[in-house]
Amino acid sequence: MSDTNGQVRLPAAFAWSPRGWPSERAFAEPGAAEVWCYTDKFAYLPGETVRFHLSASVPSFDLEVVRDGLAPQVVWARQGLTAGRFEAAPDAYAVGCGWPAGAELEIPAGWRSGFYIVTVRAATADGELWEREHFFVVKAPAGRRARAVLVLTTGTLLAYNDWGGANHYRGLGDDPRHDAGSPLSSTRRPIARGMIRKPPGAPREAATGSLPMYGMPRYPSYEWARLSGYSRHHADAFWATYERHFALWAERNGYELDHLTQHDLHFDPAALDGYACAVIVGHDEYWSWRMRDTIDAFVDAGGGLARFAGNYQWQVRLSDDGTTQYCYRLPSADPAARETPHLATTVWEARSVGRPGATTMGLNGLGGIYNRYGVATPRSSGGFTVYRPEHWAMAGTDLYYGDLLGGPPSFLAAFELDSVEYTFRRGLPYPTFEDGAPETLEILALAPAVRGEEDRFGGRVPIGGPEEEVYDYNADLGDDLPAYVHEGGMRGAGMIAAFTRGAGEVFNGGSTEWPHVLALGDPFVERIAHNVLRRFGAKGPEKGL
């Protein structure tokens, strides 16, 4: 159901509340007919073995592997599988499930790099169909690599995956009025419903409707999820909301893309060897130090980094075996921060970390964040104002100085954006360089953003990203945050920017909504994406541009 503004309209009984929203767990209801699955790793090379860890309370079930794309293809399937009914620990979100492997698949030599969806499926006793999804990535071996590779945002996936009771944001404690996140997130568990697959048209985090005067904030993605039985965080991270839209757009336009994960960048410094272009899309909020090292080395050696993403903000650590992600947010809470302060799991802009996010990406999450989310700039244009239409990224767009890029109905500058500290001179924006912005950075387009939502409702209305949380966090970090962060209050910006470093080059789209808007077919946004990919050596269309 929706109103004339495109907002989800629900009966009062289904009104969204951020408190007491349970995460999905195995066998939460006694006697429930369920099947659950996870794999031992996120990514494999041909010849390696995928181990499916299974738990089921049905007599038998099917398992299907589909290579996703414009024409999804079933590549492997097993019917009539059985598995024991294994419980998950109360803190499975942190320690994993520990279920045994119930099936195995050796990746055939001829399988192409790509995103493979694993579906477990069973008919319940009352005739209903039960399905849940997991995934794995097939990587391209050296010597068989395409020109470009899509790096999947597994760091952000782990931050938002609340299966088993919690994620990095919420789920801990007995008080439903207090959301406390877990600093540990395990890979050895299923993935929250909606992050791998969901119905077309499921609401996104970006608000595209018109807020009336004194109107209350609405969060269509949350309301839909609560009503439909999906994770609260389905639209916050990963394939179904972000990468899939881009992968299908790229395939439709003739680009050949291999696939990797952020975990591959962390554990293999040579993961990007042989590629001309690395692509990151959607929501890549969480990175490790070693992931950044791999990206920096790639760009310095002449690679092109095409980032059509937003909200680059947090440092995480991974366990030696890669099965646990750590994010304590405050250095004072991180047990490793005293011995290795630069690896503290907090914002990249913290002085103790000493590695501002802009030195890698050109922009950072603390410079911007929300646009058209709840009551965060709720009536903005939702687009970027163009300031440097002569830049190579804008070639062939017919955009003029002051034009709106990606405004209604596309809403490119929405949900979460990135920026740097900036000033204006003679009608043009320039970095101030106080936050690590590269000296070659050019700001191509701008949009307003805020770091948190103002509560004008006296606490009577749920707020998705309240400014109070931001101020509390800033106060906890204190002098570890640069002065410009405190002085900026809630004011921020979103940017599209580009820069060179070493022998390479970076384009940063600065918004989570690029893959969605590309899928919509906005011609201006599509032309910019083509310009970036072709300049950075991705194999794609030669005509019609």
Separation between Cα atoms, residue 304 and residue 16, nearest integer Å: 42
- Per-residue tens of pLDDT for the chain, all 545 residues: 344 344 443 333 334 445 567 899 999 888 889 999 999 999 999 999 999 999 999 999 999 999 999 999 999 999 999 999 999 999 999 999 999 999 999 999 999 999 999 999 998 878 889 999 999 999 999 999 999 999 999 999 999 999 999 999 998 876 555 678 999 999 999 999 999 999 999 999 999 999 999 999 999 999 999 999 999 999 999 999 999 999 999 999 999 999 999 999 999 999 999 999 999 999 999 999 999 999 999 999 999 999 999 999 999 999 999 999 999 999 999 999 999 999 999 999 999 999 999 999 999 999 999 999 999 999 999 999 999 999 999 999 999 999 999 999 999 999 999 999 999 999 999 999 999 999 999 999 999 999 999 999 998 888 999 999 999 999 999 999 999 999 999 999 999 999 999 999 999 999 999 999 999 999 999 999 999 999 999 986 554 45
Q: What's residue 174's pLDDT?
A: 61
Burial 369-406 (b: 16+ CB within 10 A, else e): bbbbbbbbbbebbbbbbbbbbebebbbebebeeebbbb
Separation between Cα atoms, residue 143 and residue 188, nearest integer Å: 31
Q: What's residue 137's pLDDT?
A: 98
Q: What's residue 124's pLDDT?
A: 82
Going across the sheet that includes 324-326, the strands are 184-186, 324-326, 314-318, 286-288
CB 117 within 8 A of CB 21: no
- The residue whose two tokens read 């503290």 is 344
Residue 145: alpha-carbon gap to chain centroid: 25
CB 398 within 8 A of CB 528: no
Tallying the residues shown for the chain, one arrives at 545
What backbone torsions phi and psi does residue 406 show, to the nearest 5 degrees?
70, 30
Q: What's residue 11's pLDDT?
A: 34
Neighbours of 162 (CB within 10 A): 30
Paired tokens of 353:
């970390």
Q: Where are the domains of the chain?
A: 35-138, 158-173+183-207+219-536
Q: What's residue 539's pLDDT?
A: 80
What backbone torsions phi and psi does residue 395 show, to the nearest 5 degrees?
-55, 135
Q: What is the dihedral of CA 270, 276, 282, 283, to 10 degrees?
A: 30
Q: Give SS3 for 228.
A: helix
Neighbours of 46 (CB within 10 A): 17
Separation between Cα atoms, residue 25 and residue 93, nearest integer Å: 10
Separation between Cα atoms, residue 294 and residue 264, nearest integer Å: 10
Amino acid found at 237: A
Paired tokens of 408:
């209604």
Q: Give SS3 for 484.
A: helix
Q: What's residue 20's pLDDT?
A: 61
CA atoms within 13 A on the CB side of 463: 19
Separation between Cα atoms, residue 103 and residue 52, nearest integer Å: 5
Q: What's residue 10's pLDDT?
A: 35
Neighbours of 14 (CB within 10 A): 13
Separation between Cα atoms, residue 505 and residue 496, nearest integer Å: 14
CA angle 331, 332, 338 (to 5 degrees): 75
H or E stretch covering 237: none
Separation between Cα atoms, residue 121 and residue 102, nearest integer Å: 15
* Fold of the 35-138 domain: Immunoglobulin-like (2.60.40)
At 287-312, the pLDDT tens digits run 999 999 999 999 999 999 999 999 99
At 483-504, the pLDDT tens digits run 999 999 999 999 999 999 999 9
Q: What's residue 262's pLDDT?
A: 98
Please, which residues have CB within 8 angstroms of residue 78's CB and are 6 or more apart in sequence?
62, 63, 103
What backbone torsions phi and psi does residue 158 show, to the nearest 5 degrees?
-65, -30
Q: What's residue 375's pLDDT?
A: 96
